[in-house]
């Protein structure tokens, strides 16, 4: 008996077993097969990203609930097409079409869920101040724009394709900025984040991740509808 038939037989036996148990207890048999909804199809995502993509602010996995749909779609395409590298993510999306990935992105983008309290609580004041300056003011001497110029004044992202950076785990922020800096993560040209990250020293990345992960996300906070000014440099997938 090949693997396909073994799996089919196992599923049948499980279904029969559940039905028999329900009948013995005088309760209705469970519905089989389960209702086919997008929420059920994306349950695999919630194993890592948390219930409904809400995640937590600890560990490595980022929140995806409420992120701009364009951004989520671009990242799913990047995992599928090899511009981002994480074996589990790549395996999950490698056979999925552009349209299906867009449906997934729109599903998670539409979720409106509260954020957890800030993760970082004990970082040195000097480190936090360095991070604040980079986020709010940038560094003109190195031609580094402020993070707010692209990610929005509230740092909650901008529709349709710029992500928010608040509420993300400190380890995740460190790893992603490090991957941009080393070239392990990249986007289609013009790759503005790669250009910016290559100008960051390790101490800058530590300061940015400490400050960002120490900031509360206001209740009801959502991505901005638009940026108030032109982007400081061209970015792929984002209108300047």
141 DSSP 8-state letter = G
How far is it, in rounded angstroms, from Cα 76 to Cα 84?
9
> Does 45 belong to an annotated binding site?
yes
> Does 48 belong to an annotated binding site?
yes
> Does 1 belong to an annotated binding site?
no
Burial class (CB in 10 A: 0-12, 13-18, 19+), 151: buried
How far is it, in rounded angstroms, from Cα 17 to Cα 164?
47
How far is it, in rounded angstroms, from Cα 99 to Cα 105?
10
Element (H, E) at 128: helix 125-136
Annotated binding-site members: 45, 48-49, 89, 147, 150-151, 193
Please report, in range form, the residues annotated as the binding site for heme c.
Answer: 45, 48-49, 89, 147, 150-151, 193
């Amino acid at each position: 008996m090949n693997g396909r038939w073994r799996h089919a037989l196992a599923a049948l036996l499980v279904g029969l077993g559940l039905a028999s148990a329900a009948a013995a207890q005088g309760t209705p048999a469970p519905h089989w097969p389960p209702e086919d909804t997008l929420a059920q199809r994306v349950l695999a995502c919630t194993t890592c990203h948390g219930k409904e993509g809400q995640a937590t602010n600890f560990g490595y996995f980022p929140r995806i609930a409420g992120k701009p749909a364009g951004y989520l779609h671009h990242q799913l395409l990047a995992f599928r097409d090899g511009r981002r590298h994480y074996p589990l993510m790549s395996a999950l999306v490698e056979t999925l079409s552009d349209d299906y990935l867009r449906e997934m992105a729109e599903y998670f983008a539409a979720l409106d869920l509260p954020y957890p309290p800030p993760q970082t609580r004990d970082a040195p004041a000097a480190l936090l101040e360095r991070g604040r300056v980079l986020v709010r003011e940038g560094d003109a001497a190195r031609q580094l724009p402020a993070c707010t110029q692209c990610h929005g004044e509230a740092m909650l992202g901008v529709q349709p394709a710029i992500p928010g950076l608040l509420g993300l785990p400190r380890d995740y922020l460190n790893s992603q900025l490090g991957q941009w800096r080393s070239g392990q993560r990249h986007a289609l040209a013009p790759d503005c984040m790669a250009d910016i990250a290559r100008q960051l020293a390790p101490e800058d990345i530590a300061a940015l991740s400490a400050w960002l992960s120490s900031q509360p996300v206001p209740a009801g906070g959502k991505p901005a509808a638009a940026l108030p000014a032109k982007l400081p440099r061209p970015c792929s997938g984002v209108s300047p």
